[in-house]
Amino acid sequence: MDYMSEYKFWCDSPVFDEETKAELRALTDPKEIEDRFYKSLSFGTGGLRGVLGAGTNRMNIYTVGKATQGLANFINSRTADGSVCIAYDSRRMSSAFALDSARILAANGIKAYLFDSLRPTPELSFAVRETGATAGIVITASHNPPQYNGYKVYWTDGGQIVPPYDSLIINEVNKIASYADIKRISAEEAASKGLLVTIGREIDEKFDNAVMGLILNKDAIEANRDMRIVYTPLHGTGNLPVRRILKKLGFENVWVVSQQAEPDGNFPTVSYPNPEDKNAFRLALELAKKVDAEIVLATDPDADRLGVYAKDKKSGEYMPFTGNMSGLLIAEYELSQRREKGLLPENTADGALVTTIVSSNMAHPIAEEYGLTLIETLTGFKYIGEQIKLFEEARKKNGGRLCAAKGAYEYEFGFEESYGCLVGTHARDKDAVTAVVCLCEAAAYYRQKGLTLWDVMLGMYKKYGCYLETLYSVTMGGADGAEKIKNIIRKLREDSPSSLGGKKVIAVRDYKDGVRRELMTGKCTPAGLPESNVLYFELEDDGWCCVRPSGTEPKIKFYCGASGTTIEDARDLLSAVKRDMTKEVEEK
């Protein structure tokens, strides 16, 4: 069916409600109609994400319902006693999508544990394991602009779905031929049958206790209760859990940006509710200057990403941390303290530091410093969470014993460049609530030594080398944009650059073909990771550039990294790499 036929079907079919039909009939722009119907919103390897609205290429009760029906069919094909935990964030339609998903699951005989109000994504990950659920759903579009919403699926280990479950669930979703095939019962009927259970405070308490159990230096927190902290949840889910846990730990001077404290899916004070965006910190920095805060923190709408500024006592300025920087700083604190307290494995190589191929290469010398095994995954924290499961399975096979040679590692820390990390294994996804707690603990510890977090970061550059990274994206919307993105990556694959930023390209890793090819010799070896449409260019002197299409937005993403003996040297090289890659793309 072509897009106009699909559009007319939606306008006329009794399957769709009158509000949906009215929205569609009011459209006058042919390009808008095409964009809404030229394809179905893809249930990708993690779930759905898209713009809210009526149409097959939009987030609405029909596309979300189809995804939930497919998930229900998959669960019922595997067990007669399935259950699913459901959480949602502050975005528009989140609570409605969550409740409708619960009704669909119940209609299929699957028990739904639905949170009584919005909760952070990491708490959903925790709740899946705590309730023994078969799967989990969280309704969120994470850090995307206000017009987006999304639907992420988790499996029984608390991690996002990964192979083979992702493709198996996708197959079930794709089998649904008609939206009329989606089963629903009322919330009242579901509750009366014991198939809709509300969860809340009891899970909050257990989640808080798990996070607080990760603290390594309670004395440092006690001695620095007066540390001045500014925090903003950016109208999202973080406000209550972050404030609650910081209060339990004893921090006395925590200021929350009042204009951004209440949940609001319109995100009225920011155009882009993303802690990666400096503009999102405007109000927080204004407050920080008024109260002379030492650290400034922001979490995204579903509280899995953390943005950080720290005051430089020398200049008095608030210095921004990238996701790599904050992740590396937390890693350095956690690993140094565990080593000091004898908490690392006796054979440190049995401990694993896990990151992604597009994250900072400073992870390499940090892993070497603590004797840990460094494991790199594809982009996306779900692959880091998967490693925890694999480690546990390997240890079980090995009689509970650690053994690096058998993959039976102890997870020590994981981080990715996109402002996400995980301390502990209570969750299996990035956790900004825990990151806030651990960063505040680190700040208190270093404060006792007369150091700010910025001082510590500069010290890490001296110790390990100056590693800098950047990410830039090019948005290409609609059917034409999707084709352009495909062509750019295809041309880069067929005609790779020989140098970037004045540095030779040593090798190209093509994760779609699964091959690493050395440019000088032509020697080919396995790329070492699962198939993915990703190109990675290794440069001289530990530089690199990685290209991939976004899995959640109509964008092509370019990640670049460089190192140097000084910040200035690394910054200059990074700019040159970015400039040359931009030129390469323009010429394609």
DSSP string covering 24-57: HHT---HHHHHHHHSSPPP--SSEEEEEBSSSTT
DSSP-based helix, strand, coil % in the chain, nearest 5: 45, 20, 35
293: closest CA among 233, 232, 230, 243? 230
Q: Is 549 helix (H, G, I), strand (E, B) or coil?
A: strand
Both tokens assigned to 139:
């309704």
Give bridge partners of residue 538 from the DSSP assignment: 507, 544
Q: Which residues of 297-313 are buried (b: 16+ CB within 10 A; e: fewer)?
A: bbbbbbbbbbbbbbbbe
Catalytic (active-site) positions: 142
Phi, psi for 80 (deg, rounded to 5)? -95, 0
Provide the edge-to-edge strand list for the sheet that holds 47-51. 47-51, 148-155, 135-139, 83-88, 111-115, 196-199
Q: State how far the Cα of 476 lies from the Cα of 480, in Å rounded to an integer.
A: 8
Q: Which tokens hold the place of 391?
A: 């480690």
Pairing label, strands 253-256, 228-232: parallel
Beta bridge partners of 356: 377
Cα gap 508→518, rounded to integer Å: 7
Distance CA 94, CA 102 (A): 12
Closest CA to 436 of 262, 269, 221: 221
Torsion of CA 285, 287, 292, 298, to 10 degrees: -50
DSSP state of 176: -
